[in-house]
Structure 1
């Protein structure tokens, strides 16, 4: 299942961790929420897209009659920066088993104008009410035991591209996807890792929204470097994750015209596929 080095007492619990505090919103009015985006979730000075998706996901969980995201699609319009932000939600439809809503996050620019940073459309339901039958050809990714994998702090110096968000995550990368860090990218467009929150908090549906966008970009293993900004990201949450570390596998099959796709699978400690995602991202060529 997973390496014995991973088994440890949780230091934080769901609802009482840095991730929960930093994604918490203050309800100002019906459908309107305030939040101060902290610098600790940034990559290259921009707030991480998976963290932002979790913030908007929590806002919609409050605005809708159902609490669990089933599918959520985000379009990233402009880069979000640390600091005050407001989230506005709209209820599109409510039903017995599914509710649909949309939300946008706004920040004020240097000229005092309100700028929309990210817009999402999502359907919510009750994960605990889903039937437990599974018919799948998907299999968990083959990742070495955690003690044979490597994170940003395992080298003599911080890994290229590391950012403040790395201190908030437990990421141990499969050595076969680490060629980029050694100056010898494989060219395969694959990234695999053990994943968790650094304070030991177990995963829930909202941290799954973070997990799909937290690993180094597959572009690194294609021999590219620099920021890989997300244009669009869709996440499907399939079931509530079991306690314990997650395994994340991300693959890129096609880079063309300066854009690539990343397909991610997230597996829990019970060998269940708990989340899937696809995103379109820009890359710098040359």
Structure 2
């Protein structure tokens, strides 16, 4: 049975050109759909022309805001090698390019098991002890109808009008319809949390300008843990670094984005 997320990121591909419908219920409270959702939509279409099954590195530049409604995605395979397919795609609406994506696809199941890392999985309170957005907030941030977020109370001061001033947010994440995570889910999850700017006392829309995601492994079933942080908000822009850990304590995705802070 097809899930809500698969349906919302589906497209029809003919001769390297995909047609899609950008859903109207994956917003973040600003005028455009969520950037991670759009990235998953474009990458899923691009994956259909790849000789390899999984996105491993994906970079998107958000050239103009996209909007709910019909979209066209052009795809091009740049090079297909033994272990990696490099490809690019552009999403168009009303004849204007909205997003351009460059991606490398590989086979995550064929990667070696050797892990040598200094990274440590985050420690969060139990899911039931974390902050869940009220219905009034969910009506504004419509993607929360599809993503179940449970934010660590220590990083949810912004929700009570008392932000900590630290640029960090930690949350449990899963798709609300119960679909288990896959690589495209990770592309959405890296941008699904409220902006870390909120916990720094900055309110308003924080649109993504550029987003790069590295998918490191196929995620295990169950809840994901997402940690977002920034060290520098300056000149109306900030970087946001994200790590995603799966239920087996594996670092399955990392990302960095540059975002612009737009006042309320």
Report if the CA contact (8 A) 1:160-1:181 is conserved: no
Match of 1:56 among 42, 45, 59: 42
Q: Which residue of 2 aligns with 1:158?
A: 136
Deviations 1:53-107 (A, max 9, x none): 1011111110111110010000001111000000001111110000100001000
* 1:158 Cα deviation from its structure 2 partner: 2.3
Q: Which residue of 1 aligns with 2:204?
A: 226
1:180-219 aligned within 5 A: 180-219=158-197
Deviating 4+ runs (over 2 angstroms)? 157-162
* 1:285 Cα deviation from its structure 2 partner: 5.7
2:16 matched to 1:31?
yes
Deviations 1:245-286 (A, max 9, x none): 100000010011111000000000000000000000001369
* Alignment RMSD (CA, Å): 1.4
* 1:151 Cα deviation from its structure 2 partner: 1.3
* 1:159 Cα deviation from its structure 2 partner: 3.4
Report if the CA contact (8 A) 1:192-1:249 is conserved: yes
2:103 matched to 1:122?
yes
Q: Which residue of 1 aligns with 2:79?
A: 93
Report if the CA contact (8 A) 1:64-1:91 is conserved: yes
Q: Distance in 1 between matches of 2:216 and 2:2?
A: 24
Across the two proteins, how many residue pairs are aligned to each other?
263
Q: Distance in 1 between matches of 2:261 and 2:90?
A: 25
Secondary structure, aligned partner of 2:137: coil
Report if the CA contact (8 A) 1:159-1:181 is conserved: no
Q: Distance in 1 between matches of 2:8 and 2:262?
A: 31
Q: Distance in 2 between matches of 1:128 and 1:195?
A: 23
Structure 2 gap ranges (5+): none
2:236 matched to 1:258?
yes
* 1:185 Cα deviation from its structure 2 partner: 0.6
Secondary structure, aligned partner of 2:65: coil
